[in-house]
Amino acid sequence: MDFLNLFVIVPVLTMIGILFTKELKGARLVSAVGMGIQLVLAIFLVFYYLSVRGAGNLHEMILTTDYSWFPSLNIHYFIGVDGIAVAMIALTAIVIFAGVFASWEMEYLSREFFISLILLSTGVFGFFISLDLFTMFLFYELAVIPMYLLIGIWGSGPKEASAMKLTLMLMAGSALLLVGILGIYYHSAPNGGPYTFNILAISKIHIPLAAQRFFFPLTFVGFGILGALFPLHTWSPSGHASAPTAVSMLHAGVLMKLGAYGCFRVAIFLMPQAATQMAWIFIILTSISVVYGAFGAIMQKDLKFINAYSSVSHVGLILFALLMMNKIAMDGAILQMISHGLMTALFFALIGMIYGRTHTRDIREMGGLMKVIPFLGVMYMIAGFASLGLPGFSGFVAEMTIFVGAFKHSDLFHRVASVVVVSSIVITAVYILRVVGKLLLGPVQKEAHLHLKGASWYEKLSTTSLLIAIVGIGVLPLWLSDTILNSLQPIMEKLVAYLH
């Protein structure tokens, strides 16, 4: 089945299509159609996956396709998905679809903008379908580099500096990653035979502990930088704040999850023994991420900075949950990836739309917007509630699952870490409610803000598509959760052997 290839082919065709358009109108139309097709494909993939699993297909990965690329090094273009990848692909498709509509009025160099944006998404889709470390690394770097142009050209504020900082830090991460991948490769044949980059094949063998100890931290930190692991998170606030709306959405919504997904799929899955031994270091770091990010968000006055710090906190929670190394927490981690991806994309979309009207992102200069722009106001409030983890939204399901998983550990270290991390819920409530109160309620602060334009159709489409997904997961969490739990089985079997 070559069906999965479409997830790379469609964006590439879309980019080529944009080349033939003249200006904004054509470019956005082609992008919308292309990403619309992509969304339909993703939804189809979800249902296909469910039906296949329902029919009793218990293969670890489905829809696998394998082409030999560099036979002498045993490098393959090997793709396939399990439930987790399917969920991530669906997330990406929704966010990029919403992102195209959020950039509907991108006048400046519009063709180049949409091409870069879709190139970025190509990298992300490719990353999630890859089962070969080489292919995966290629797509990973492909996703990072358009960011420079997207932020540098279309960003705001100190965009050149933020773009450079972000790119260099992420590329430094991928540098560590490259060493990690090569290390895994050269230890993938302990009993002789050709080395391999194939993730499934490597997961079946045992990499020597000494090698794991050396390469696990490199790989974990390499991916962790993209997941804003403290203290390497500093690219994230400035980068997100300077990026144009759609890029912030895609970056906080999906790209940071790439880091977490990589930590899970490569670092922990392939080197479980070192992972269990070294988890404590990273548990400390992620706990700091969670609390520090939340406190950071309280102190900020710029809407985008608030959300960027909140992302540091939430993605920290994902990494924290992964390091808890049990099925429930990991399930929660994956749920949180999707939930936070949708939520933060919604936030950034709304911030972009509000900024486009008020021309300020400083919360002290705004107020009472609920009366002026009710649609966006209500949306913002809902996004806030989802972020707080209110029942009925995806955030509740995800965080609840994570904490239940975390408290399964009864030793002192894990208990303390869990308690510290749980306290972030309260801090989150503080900054969310504060922003909602300042921004939406109370009197209107500025004369000019009394007559803002209401939401247009494309803004409604963009935000609603995200909201539907958030509520969908919140109300019907079980099918998603079950899909993930099934796919967690192989990794749990590996981990259990080393946990005690």
Partner 1 sequence: MMDFKYILLMRHELLLVLVAVIILIFDFLTDREKKNRLIPFSIYLFAGAMLVSFFPVKPGVLFGGSFQGNALTDFFKDILNLALLIVFMQSEGYLRKEENREKIAEYFVLLILTLVGMDYMVSSGDFLTFYVGLETASIPLAGLVAYDKFKSRSAEGGVKLILLSALSSGVLLFGLSLVYGATGSIYFSDIAKHITASPLIILGFIFFLSGMGFKISLVPFHLWTADVYEGAPMSITAYLSVVSKGAAVFILTIILYKVFKNITGLWETALYALAILTMTVGNLFAIRQNNIKRFLAFSSIAQAGFILVGIMGTGSLGMTSIVYFILIYVFTNLGAFGVASAIFNASGVETISGYNGLYKTNPRLSLIMMLSLFSLAGIPPVAGFFGKFFMFTSAGSKGYFILILIGVLNATISLYYYLMVVKAMFINKNDHPVPYFRSPNFLRFSLLLCSIALVFIGFAGGIFEYIMSVSHVLF
Piece of the chain touching partner 1 by CB under 8 A; list 34-42, 157-165, 314-322, 488-496: 157-165
234 binds partner 1 (CB under 8 A): no
For the bound state, the minimum distance from the C-beta of residue 109 to partner 1, rounded and expressed in Å, comes to: 8
For the bound state, the minimum distance from the C-beta of residue 427 to partner 1, rounded and expressed in Å, comes to: 34
Give the residue with the Cβ less far from partner 1, 238 or 418: 238
Give the residue with the Cβ less far from partner 1, 174 or 326: 174
Q: Which of 61, 179, 288, 400 binds partner 1 (CB under 8 A)?
A: 179
Q: Which of 54, 56, 72, 443 binds partner 1 (CB under 8 A)?
A: 72
Return the residues of window 111-150 that contact partner 1 according to CB under 8 A: 134, 138-139, 141-142, 145, 148-149
185 binds partner 1 (CB under 8 A): yes
CA distance 2 to 7: 10
According to DSSP, the residues that pair with 68 across neighbouring strands are 76
33 binds partner 1 (CB under 8 A): no
244 binds partner 1 (CB under 8 A): no
Q: Which of 38, 167, 196, 300 binds partner 1 (CB under 8 A)?
A: 167
Greatest CA span in the chain, whole angstroms? 75
Which tokens hold the place of 431? 């900054």
176 binds partner 1 (CB under 8 A): yes
Give the residue with the Cβ less far from partner 1, 153 or 288: 153
Give the residue with the Cβ less far from partner 1, 116 or 418: 116
Q: Which of 61, 153, 400, 492 binds partner 1 (CB under 8 A)?
A: 153
For the bound state, the minimum distance from the C-beta of residue 266 to partner 1, rounded and expressed in Å, comes to: 16
Count of residues touching partner 1 (by CB under 8 A): 34
Piece of the chain touching partner 1 by CB under 8 A; list 15-23, 151-159, 294-302, 362-370: 151-159
User: 334-363 mask for partner 1 (x: CB under 8 A)?
Assistant: ------------------------------
175 binds partner 1 (CB under 8 A): yes
Piece of the chain touching partner 1 by CB under 8 A; list 69-77, 84-92, 366-374, 477-485: 69-77
178 binds partner 1 (CB under 8 A): yes
> At residue 169, what is the residue type?
M
For the bound state, the minimum distance from the C-beta of residue 264 to partner 1, rounded and expressed in Å, comes to: 23
Which tokens hold the place of 247? 């890029």
Give the residue with the Cβ less far from partner 1, 113 or 393: 113
- Give the rounded distance of the alpha carbon of 63 from its chain centre: 23
Q: Which of 11, 80, 99, 152 binds partner 1 (CB under 8 A)?
A: 152
The answer to whether the beta carbons of residues 348 and 462 sit under 8 Å apart is: no
CA distance 267 to 261: 9
186 binds partner 1 (CB under 8 A): yes
Piece of the chain touching partner 1 by CB under 8 A; list 22-30, 169-177, 440-448, 463-471: 169-177
171 binds partner 1 (CB under 8 A): yes
71 binds partner 1 (CB under 8 A): yes
Q: Which of 3, 20, 44, 70 binds partner 1 (CB under 8 A)?
A: 70
By CB under 8 A, name the binding residues for partner 1: 68-73, 75, 134, 138-139, 141-142, 145, 148-149, 152-153, 159-160, 164, 167-168, 171-172, 175-176, 178-179, 182-183, 185-186, 214, 218
